[in-house]
Structure 1
Amino acid sequence: MKSSNELLDLLELKTIDAGNFQGVSKTIGSPHVFGGQVLAQAVNAAYKTITNQRILHSLHAYFLEAGDLNVPIDFSVNEVRDGGSFSTRRVLASQNGKAIFILAASFHKEESGHDHQIEMNTSLKQPEDLLSWTEMLQQFGSVLPKITKHFLEIERPIEFKPVEVVNPLKQENLPPYSNIWFKLKTPLLNADLATKQQILTYISDYNILAAALLPHASKAHFGNTQMASLDHSMWFFRDFDYDDWMLYSIETPNASSARGFAKGNIFSRDGKLIACVAQEGLMRPMVKKTE
């Protein structure tokens, strides 16, 4: 999967009957379904039941079971409420009749009101001064750990450029934050806001939980830590376009009880706050079995 159109095809669900839809999966390197894919497909399902031009403003989801890449995912939408200003939908995703994911989503009619936002950090390096994941693979692939090299080799429709580059060969604890520029590799033409939100939902599950490993990087990495998204919340604030780089600014306030928590702000390059994200995930140290 290399283009925006391929990503859109993945997120677009087949209609089975009223309120019931079905989707397929593609790997991003994990043996299980990528959480961002299920999130975005569930948003696609919810949007299919919105007929009053209302726009998604928040979502709250729980990942219940690891998804099987080889089995279609069934999405069932419950139209909870259509009020004067807000519409609420509940989406259940299942495989072989077993629930793997639930989503609550709220949609709001267009209204005007007060406006403010936090400022983006303008002192960060710009994308032109950074290496992308693709360029890192090309330059350092021969010395990267096998698990990192395999992850970077997966073709994606999004290019990522981390501001703070983690050296996997240098084991040291790092500050509890991460900034990543991202951009679609191919243009997304004439997309409406609903479509742009679905793609942003997909992207939002990249990088966020990994930030919770940074303060423990002297001993914890993907090879010795079981990682999985547990829940995911997202709030959408403003319209935007994918014609330039965007910044995902992440911080991780806490890790405890084999869980890590991280939150992030997504900005357009000109500093407009587009969305906020929060996620808690499993971060369980693997214990080596003794003879």
Structure 2
Amino acid sequence: MDAPIDRDDHAPTREPISDVLDVTQSSPDQFIGSAGARNHIGSVFGGRLLAQSLLSAMKTVEALPASSFHAYFLAAGRTDMPIDYQVTRLRDSRRFANRLITACQDGQTIFTMMAEFHAAEDGFVHQDASMPPVPPPEEVASIQHFVRERAGELAQAVTHNFAAALVIEMRPIAPESYLLARPAEAARSFWFRQSGAAAVDDARLQQCLLAFASDYWLGGASAIPHFLPTNSGEFLITSMDHSMWFHRPARCEEWMLHQTSSPSASDGLGLSRGQIFDRDGRLVASTAQECLLRRLRG
């Protein structure tokens, strides 16, 4: 692909940082968050549930950063009402804290998360993961630019879902290889950032924003060999669960690379795994997600 004409521009996003982090306390260990804009299937974006649940838990944990979380999406969230978060304190020790977070709307549980927090301590250090050799983000087109340039070749679902503002700024590596073809390898990588995160000083809030971004385009890797990896009138991809491990601090206004791949798909479910690297090649987080992959019948 030729060098993008808008490579220095900020691509539009539809989820302001202040809105993602809009979580207020309603009573002890209970919090309320805003639902935000609809995703491709008309419900609350899963990354918002991840970020706001983690933030709700953080408001009950003194200072400790998050080390991991494991979450389940139980029902589609509605965007016309706020989300209630209930935090249950499971453990508080000198270096660890564990929380159970339940998200509800109109009395129905739509999401649960188990989160762990850990105080940094001296220990062993290694990184047996390497960032793949990809062009820097300045030499990669935004997904919106790609869609505009190749609109005549792309399926209508791609132009509908990716031409306008997204939840994050994203620059995919070689998107034509899976948006215009069906490769055998279930993998893709993309640069992403959230420019508004520059105004966020708190390192724990940066973790919430990274959790938010981690949900975008992860699960779709499992669909790549089989179907156009985006929701349409013919195909449904929806997240069933999401796990994340935080390895090193990161700033979400800086470009990071999410390298995703799928080791397996069967029985209507596909598993995707991801590694998030900063520009220096440090592995800052690992992700995993299982999605429902369903061909829709007309």
Give yes or no for TM over 0.5: yes
After TM superposition, which residue ranges in structure 1, 4 or more long, deviate above 4 angstroms? 1-5
Residue 120 in structure 1 maps to residue 130 in structure 2? yes
Contact 2:20 2:51 in 1 (8 A): no
Aligned residues: 286
**Within the alignment, does 1:283 sit opposite 2:293 as a pair?**
yes
Match of 2:259 among 249, 252, 270: 249
For residues 168-202 of structure 1, the C-alpha deviation after alignment (integer angstroms, 9 at most, x for no partner) is 77443341111111122345135221111111101
Question: What is the match of residue 44 of structure 1?
Answer: 55
Match of 2:250 among 234, 240, 251: 240
Pair 1:200 & 2:210 matched: yes
* Secondary structure of the corresponding residue to residue 259 of structure 2: strand
1:51-130 correspondence runs (5 A): 51=62, 53-130=63-140
For 2:180 and 2:248, locate their aligned partners in 1 and report how far apart those are by CA, in whole Å.
39
Partners of 2:93 and 2:131 in 1: CA distance: 38
Amino acid at match of 1:79: R
Cα distance change of structure 1 residues 254 and 24 upon mapping to structure 2, 3 Å threshold: same
- String of CA shifts for 1:258-288, please: whole Å, max 9, x gaps: 0000000001010111000010111122233
Q: Displacement of 1:87 after TM fit?
A: 0.3
User: What is the rounded CA distance, in whole Å, between the counterparts of 2:294 and 2:15 in structure 1?
Assistant: 36
The 10-residue stretch of structure 1 (125-134 or 72-81) with the greater mean CA deviation from structure 2: 125-134
Structure 1: 5+ residue runs without aligned partners? none
Q: Structure 2: any 5+ residue segments left out of the alignment?
A: 1-10
Identity of aligned residues (%): 31
What's the offset of the Cα at 1:129? Answer: 2.2
TM-score normalized with structure 2 length: 0.89
* 1:177 alignment counterpart: 187
1:103 CA displacement = 0.4
Moved more, 20-29 or 274-283: 20-29
Which of 235-244 and 258-267 deviates more? 235-244
Structure 1 contact 29–150 (Cα < 8 Å) conserved: no
Give yes or no for the alignment of 1:163 onto 2:178: no
Paired residue type of 1:134: Q
Pair 1:27 & 2:27 matched: no
Cα RMSD for the two superposed structures: 2.2
Counterpart Cα distance in 1 of 2:151 and 2:39: 18
Distance 1:233 1:48, change over 3 A: same
